[in-house]
Amino acid sequence: MAGNIFKEEALEEKGERARMAAFIGAMAIEDLVKSTLGPKGMDKILQSAGRGHSITVTNDGATILKSLHVDNPAAKVLVEISKVQDDEVGDGTTSVVVLAGELLREAEKLIAQKIHPMTIIAGYRMAVDCARSALEMKVRNNKGDSEKFRKDLVNIAMTTLSSKILSQDKEYFANLAVDAVLRLKGSGNLEAIQIIKKCGGSLRDSFLDEGFILDRKIGVGQPKRIQNAKILVANTAMDTDKIKIYGARVRVDAMSKVAEIEAAEKNKMKEKVEKILAHGINCFVNRQLIYNFPEELFAEAGIMAVEHADFDGIERLALVTGGEIASTFENPESVKLGHCKQIEEIMIGEDKLIHFSGVELGQACTIVLRGASTHLLDEAERSLHDALCVLAATVKDSRVVWGGGWPEMLMARHVDELARKTPGKKSLAVESFGAALRAIPSIICDNAGLDSADLVSQLRAAHFNEDSSAGVDVITGAVGDMEARGIYEAFKVKLAVLLSATEAAEMILRVDEIIKCAPRQREDGM
């Protein structure tokens, strides 16, 4: 009866067993995403358990981990850091999990040698500080030179895209993404970049449009093309304008009165439309539905009316055309209208879309993705999103480093040096940290079917030289000069990977007991 103080189904694991459970869970997650790392990484098919068993094909670590139902608490920590990496910098979601997993793998070996987890943590902390300062010393910054900076950006985008489905056309898409991000003029507001996916055509048919494309149809009988448009962006009910005062209801005593009220209602709508017309507009975009009656009125007045644009669409449209989102129409003179040179209906594939070109604020743009299937398009969108995020982060923090395992090798070398200088057990942990860092280029090689042991040792030798720029070139399968090959990565991403992976590893290492509460009973037995 050894004091069972928990509920019946609760689980308690202690000491070594808890640590084992945590390590195994974390490494299982690492092994899962490991094979997607690098330019030759493989994709995963994810099938949802919900209705329809919809399928996602992806290479994006965060997407894979997000869709997993993980029970192991340590594994959940890794899923969490990957998610945060996605939210914060957008790329490196696989790397962060792999690095954390490798750190734990090394830690497990040390624990087998009877080294206390706290000692390992102390060593890791020393190592991470050292790695960070080593990386910071070697960053390059081309902020001042816009020509070079653009080239940096293209290189970064190409590196990011090379591991994704877009790698075939990476140059094309890298330029596309860089153009889009540079249009933002440093604001880093990715909302202004709209991605529209349309099935059909090939990936190469994708294009960047300088205007704004709204995936909606123009009302019947209204002009399909407008020059010098004045746009009113609105969020108002255009069905029947209900009275919002609480408790109002219609109570009549004769049919005739119903008719009267109906007429009054209609009249009211008409008045509303007239008020809207009084703004002197020729295009009206509403977030909510526009019923037939007002639509007809708009058609009569020769105004383009677009209904049911979703909230994001409305916000973006307001952003790009410079208008304000209106909900009342009493003072037409003071409402700011949006402007654009031309609005027309265009066809992409088989779908009709509304195209706003020559918009006032040049920041916004739309990327139209074309591709053979929805899965392909979804993956392409994710890849592009990654690239855009990285670029936006780089525009803010323009420091870049070389890619292809170069930063890892550089950090590993400095960490190794530190290990040699450190007395005590901690030095073993510091050394392990270096080994974990070197595991990343070796996984990249393995995934590409190259001899990782050979290549990584070559790299290591090359990095003995202080200013080496050597990294793995997976395409040619040899060690090469990263600068010449243009394999660049954003410093911010690398730093975030390093820090969050260490943080997560430390968190898991500190655990010596896992208590799982009894799962909440669900009624439907799911």
Partner 1 sequence: MALAFDEYGRPFIIIREQEQKSRVRGLDAQKANILAAKAVSRILRTSLGPKGMDKMLQSADGEVTITNDGATILEQMEVENQIGKLMVELSRSQDYEIGDGTTGVVVTAGALLEHAEKLLDRGIHPIRVAEGYEMASKIAVETLEKISTKFEYDVFNFEPLVQTCMTTLSSKIVGRCKRDLAEIAVKAVLAVADLERRDVNLDLIKVEGKVGGRLEDTELVYGIVVDKDMSHPQMPKHIEDAKIAILTCPFEPPKPKTKHKVDIDSVEKFQALQEQEKKYFDDMVQKCKDVGSTLVICQWGFDDEANHLLMHRGLPAVRWVGGVELELIAIATGGRIVPRFQELTPEKLGKAGLVREKSFGTTKDRMLYIEECANSKAVTIFIRGGNKMMIEETKRSVHDALCVARNLIRDNSIVYGGGSAEIAVSLAVEAAADKIPGVEQYAMRAFADALDAVPMALAENSGLQPIDTLTAVKAQQVKEKNPRLGIDCNDVGTNDMREQNVFETLIGKKQQLQLATQVVKMILKIDDVITPQSY
CA distance linking residue 273 with residue 268, whole number of Å: 9
474 closest CA partner among 450, 440, 456:
450
Bridge partner residues of 473 (DSSP): 478
What are the phi and psi torsion angles at 347 (to 5°)? -110, 130
Q: Are strands 338-348 and 55-58 parallel, antiparallel or unpaired?
A: unpaired
Write the interaction track for partner 1 spanning residues 99-138; mark x where CB under 8 A is met and - where it is not: -----------------xxx------x-------------
Token pair belonging to 18: 């808890």
CA distance linking residue 428 with residue 161, whole number of Å: 37
Residue type, 94: T
Rounded to a whole number of angstroms, the minimum distance from the CB of residue 29 to partner 1 is 13
Token pair belonging to 156: 């970064």
Complex with partner 1: residue 267 or 374, whichever CB lies closer = 267
475 binding partner 1? (CB under 8 A): no
453 binding partner 1? (CB under 8 A): no
Identified binder of partner 1 from the candidate list 10, 20, 42, 55, rule CB under 8 A: 10
Identified binder of partner 1 from the candidate list 41, 90, 338, 441, rule CB under 8 A: 90
190 close to 307: Cβ distance less than 8 angstroms: no
Complex with partner 1: residue 32 or 269, whichever CB lies closer = 269
Rounded to a whole number of angstroms, the minimum distance from the CB of residue 469 to partner 1 is 27
Helix or strand (DSSP H, E) at 177: helix 170-183
Residues with a known catalytic role? 60, 93-94, 386
345 close to 354: Cβ distance less than 8 angstroms: yes
373 binding partner 1? (CB under 8 A): no
Number of residues that bind partner 1 (CB under 8 A): 84
Rounded to a whole number of angstroms, the minimum distance from the CB of residue 456 to partner 1 is 27
CA 474, 480, 485, 489 dihedral sign is positive
* CB-based burial, 185-197: b 16+ in 10 Å, e otherwise: eeeeebebbbbbb
Complex with partner 1: residue 42 or 252, whichever CB lies closer = 252
43 binding partner 1? (CB under 8 A): no
CA distance linking residue 450 with residue 425, whole number of Å: 35
Rounded to a whole number of angstroms, the minimum distance from the CB of residue 234 to partner 1 is 9
Complex with partner 1: residue 236 or 458, whichever CB lies closer = 236
Complex with partner 1: residue 345 or 503, whichever CB lies closer = 503
Rounded to a whole number of angstroms, the minimum distance from the CB of residue 254 to partner 1 is 9
Cα-based angle 93, 94, 99 (whole degrees, multiple of 5): 105
> Segment 54-83, which members bind partner 1 (CB under 8 A)?
71, 73-74, 76-77, 80-81, 83
Residue type, 408: E
Complex with partner 1: residue 253 or 350, whichever CB lies closer = 253
115 close to 364: Cβ distance less than 8 angstroms: no
> Segment 141-200, which members bind partner 1 (CB under 8 A)?
189-191
404 close to 38: Cβ distance less than 8 angstroms: no
Rounded to a whole number of angstroms, the minimum distance from the CB of residue 393 to partner 1 is 8
> Segment 499-518, which members bind partner 1 (CB under 8 A)?
499-500, 503-504, 506-507, 510-518
> Segment 215-234, which members bind partner 1 (CB under 8 A)?
none
> Segment 301-330, which members bind partner 1 (CB under 8 A)?
315, 318-319, 324-328, 330
Q: Which stretch binds partner 1 (CB under 8 A): 102-110, 202-210, 359-367, 387-395?
A: 387-395
278 binding partner 1? (CB under 8 A): no
Write the interaction track for partner 1 spanning residues 233-272; mark x where CB under 8 A is met and - where it is not: --xx----x-xxxxxxxxxxx---x--xx-xxx--x----
Complex with partner 1: residue 88 or 483, whichever CB lies closer = 88
Rounded to a whole number of angstroms, the minimum distance from the CB of residue 331 to partner 1 is 7
> Segment 396-425, which members bind partner 1 (CB under 8 A)?
none
Q: Are strands 225-234 and 212-214 parallel, antiparallel or unpaired?
A: unpaired
Identified binder of partner 1 from the candidate list 331, 373, 374, 465, rule CB under 8 A: 331
Which residues neighbour 241 within 8 Å (Cβ) at sequence distance 6 or greater?
265, 268, 269, 272
505 closest CA partner among 102, 92, 129, 71:
102
Complex with partner 1: residue 360 or 503, whichever CB lies closer = 503
Rounded to a whole number of angstroms, the minimum distance from the CB of residue 21 to partner 1 is 9
Which residues neighbour 168 within 8 Å (Cβ) at sequence distance 6 or greater?
203
158 closest CA partner among 39, 62, 64, 37:
39
